[in-house]
């Protein structure tokens, strides 16, 4: 399992991605953070070699068009910085819609995010479908031993069973759209595994019913599970703070 080195000052950030910025790619998000790091003059650690690169690694990629309240990245600094002010400072240097919501110092040799995260949760708004109709399709899908859908793999269509990926699906109605207009919109809460393989929420929805179309996808949580514990990534590998000594 990939791990961070025990040199420098490793940090984990949590950030959200909402609004129009959801249409920029994972690579563009990475570029935006690299620019924000430069603006804030963070003391980034760099790789060795002919072309040194900053030691920054992102968690699970978010599909273009999806929103999220639970994105993560790890970076390594040459020395400690004030983590209490870091989220606000970086948010001010990032594009509108990307907001850093947490920062912690990582324990030495913390496992990499892409290997450590074992489950993700989403809210999926379903377009043009009655909530009762969607609930019936979900119940039928959960009762099925297999749930096949077509997926694009390296330029070719393959049929895969996504049923083993699904941990939970629940349906509830929502009363307004993003503009505040009242309407009936079915919302599906999804919990999906990421290991040994995962699936996009739109692929799962297509397997539940070919007529169901995702109008809005929001990633709400990522989880790291170890030894029976279920932890949010900021909690899972945070470095313990040493209490300050009191003056006698």
pLDDT one-digit tens code per residue, 172-215:
865 555 555 545 578 999 999 999 889 999 999 999 988 888 88
Using CB atoms within 10 Å of the CB of residue 114, give its burial: 0 to 12 exposed, 13 to 18 middle, 19+ buried: middle
CATH number at residue 55: 3.30.70.580
pLDDT digits (tens, 9 = 90+) for 42-99: 999 999 888 889 999 999 999 999 999 999 999 999 999 999 999 999 999 999 999 9
Does residue 21 fall inside a structural domain? yes
Tally of domains in the chain? 2
Same domain, 205 and 218: yes
Do residues 29 and 98 both lie within one domain? yes
Say which range, 72-76, 100-104, 154-158, 172-176, has the weakest mean pLDDT: 172-176
Range of the domain at 29: 9-115
Q: Give a yes or no: residue 110 inside a domain.
A: yes
* Residue 51 included in any domain: yes
pLDDT at 25 exceeding the cut of 90: yes
- 83 in the same domain as 22: yes
Same domain flag for 136 and 58: no
Those residues whose C-beta lies under 8 Å from the C-beta of residue 104, and which sit 6 or more positions away, are 11, 12, 83, 234, 238, 239
203, two tokens: 């692929």
Task: Say if residue 54 is in the same domain as residue 158.
Answer: no
- The domain spanning residue 168 has which CATH number? 3.30.70
In a domain, 248, yes or no: no
Q: Do you know the residue count of the chain?
A: 248
User: Which of 115, 136, 165 is the endpoint of a domain?
Assistant: 115
Q: Which range, of 26-40, 60-74, 119-133, 171-185, averages the lowest pLDDT?
A: 171-185
Q: What is the pLDDT of residue 177?
A: 54
């Amino acid at each position: 399992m990939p791990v961070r080195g025990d040199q420098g000052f490793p940090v984990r950030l949590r950030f959200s991605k909402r609004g129009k910025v959801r249409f920029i790619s994972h690579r563009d998000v990475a570029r935006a953070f690299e620019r924000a790091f430069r603006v804030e003059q963070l003391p980034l650690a760099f790789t060795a070699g002919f072309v040194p690169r900053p030691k920054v690694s992102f968690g699970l990629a978010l599909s273009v068009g999806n929103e999220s309240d639970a994105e993560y990245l790890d970076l390594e600094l040459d020395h400690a910085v004030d983590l209490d002010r870091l989220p606000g400072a970086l948010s001010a240097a990032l594009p509108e819609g990307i907001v850093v919501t947490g920062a912690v110092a990582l324990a030495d040799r913390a496992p990499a995010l892409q290997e450590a995260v074992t489950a993700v949760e989403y809210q999926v708004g379903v377009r043009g479908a009655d909530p009762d109709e969607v609930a019936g399709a979900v119940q039928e899908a959960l009762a099925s031993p297999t749930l096949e859908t077509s997926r694009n793999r390296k330029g070719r269509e393959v049929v895969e069973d996504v049923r083993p990926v699904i941990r939970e699906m629940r349906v509830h109605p929502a009363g307004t759209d993003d503009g505040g207009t009242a309407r009936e919109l079915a919302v599906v809460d999804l919990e999906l595994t990421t290991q040994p393989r995962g699936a996009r929420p739109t692929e799962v929805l297509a397997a539940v019913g070919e007529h169901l179309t995702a109008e809005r996808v929001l990633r709400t949580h990522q989880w790291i599970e170890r030894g029976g514990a279920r932890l949010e990534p900021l909690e899972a590998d945070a470095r313990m703070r040493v209490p300050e000594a009191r003056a006698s």
